Structure 1
Amino acid sequence: MDVLYFKLELPLQSTEQVLGVQLILTFSYQLHRMSTFEMQSMAFLQSSFAVPGSQLHVNGDLRLQQKQPLSYRGLDVRYNVSVINGTSPFAHDYDLTHIVAAYQERNVTTVLSDPNPIWLVGRAAEAPFVIDAVIRYPVEVISYQPGFWEMIKFAWIQYVSILLIFLWVFERIKIFVFQNQVVTSIPVAVPQGEIRKEHLS
């Protein structure tokens, strides 16, 4: 399993304290088998505590969430745009509430599952605040709409498999019926025609 080790140190002044963290990590997500799909995704982490902290440790899985199956045809790049519009001159495009809401409107997203945040206290006066994250990329089950020829291929394999089993069972039944005389049979005498011989005179 692939793993991302992320560490961020934030320099702080001696009078500054950290009571909470809101963190967005962006990813380039690509699929190249069965369905060709590319998108820019994110993992959002939010933690807040009553006492000032020195470190935040996170350990979770980046999971794929689908609201509809992917397409099998062509390259799907409808979500291959930045999660945060860095070229926008409007302040609301950088608002965290707007970013998360727009991201959730997508049909395909990623989410940080079971982050299990651990908040450590006791920061020294000149020490930075540390965010330490371990993010795993588990095996995913992808839902997609298969094409016509792919459906025919798998349907043909299933048809042949069932046909072979049926022929084998039918042959066994036929052998059993004839060997054990399960079906009552009555012999019928077939009349033989008269045998004539022609003599040449």
Structure 2
Amino acid sequence: MDMLHFKLELPLQSTEHVLGVQLILTFSYQLHRMSTFVMQSMAFFQSSFAVPGSQLYVNGDLRLQQKQPLSHGGLDVRYNVSVINGTSPFAHDYDLTHIVAAYQERNVTTILTDPNPIWLVGRAAEAPFVINAVIRYPMEVISYLPGFWEMIKFAWIQYVSILLIFLWVFERIKRFVFQNQVVTTIPVTAVPQGELYKQHLS
């Protein structure tokens, strides 16, 4: 399991206190097996506490969420755009509610699960507020639409495996029928077709 560890220090004045945190982490998420997919994703975290703190420790998993399967061919870059439009002159593009709502409209997103926040108190005067985070990348199950030849390959494997079983069963049934004379048979002498033709002419 891969892991990202980072530490962020926020300078504060001696009279300032931190009672809560809202954190947006942005990532470049890439898949290169079965489906080639590249996107700019994010993980949103917020937490509030009753007492001022000196440090926040977060340890969670960045998980992939899909509303629809990925395509099997080509490079999918439909979401390879910044989560926050830093070039926009409009204030609503930087509003947290707008950012989260626009992000949730995507069919493929990431989410920070089980962050397990730990709030540490006792900040010294002029000491910065510290955010210490560990982000893990667990193994994911990716849903995608297979291509034609991939479907043919798996269908052929399944067809052959079933065919072999049926051939074996039918062979056993045939042996049982002939060895135990289950079906009544009448022996008939085979006559060449040429002789039948001659007898008909005579």
Q: Same fold (TM over 0.5)?
A: yes
Question: CA offsets per residue over residues 13-44 of structure 1, 9 Å max, x none?
Answer: 21111111111111001111111111000001
Alignment CA distance shift 1:195-1:4 (3 Å): closer
Alignment CA distance shift 1:51-1:181 (3 Å): same
Alignment CA distance shift 1:46-1:199 (3 Å): closer
Alignment CA distance shift 1:194-1:45 (3 Å): closer
Structure 2: any 5+ residue segments left out of the alignment? none
Alignment CA distance shift 1:193-1:157 (3 Å): closer
Question: CA offsets per residue over residues 150-200 of structure 1, 9 Å max, x none?
Answer: 111111111111111111222223233334445555777999999999999
SS in 2 for 1:199: helix
| Higher alpha-carbon deviation: 102-111 or 141-150 | 141-150
Question: CA offsets per residue over residues 108-158 of structure 1, 9 Å max, x none?
Answer: 100001111111111111322111111111111111111111111111111
Structure 1: any 5+ residue segments left out of the alignment? none
SS in 2 for 1:78: coil
SS in 2 for 1:71: coil
Aligned to 2:132: 132
Alignment CA distance shift 1:116-1:190 (3 Å): same
Counterpart CA distance in 2 for 1:115 and 1:199 is 95
SS in 2 for 1:155: helix
TM-score between the two structures when normalised by the length of structure 2: 0.88
TM-score between the two structures when normalised by the length of structure 1: 0.88
SS in 2 for 1:170: helix
| Higher alpha-carbon deviation: 13-22 or 185-194 | 185-194
The structural deviation recorded for 1:97 is 1.0
Question: CA offsets per residue over residues 74-123 of structure 1, 9 Å max, x none?
Answer: 11111000001011111111111111111011111000011111111111
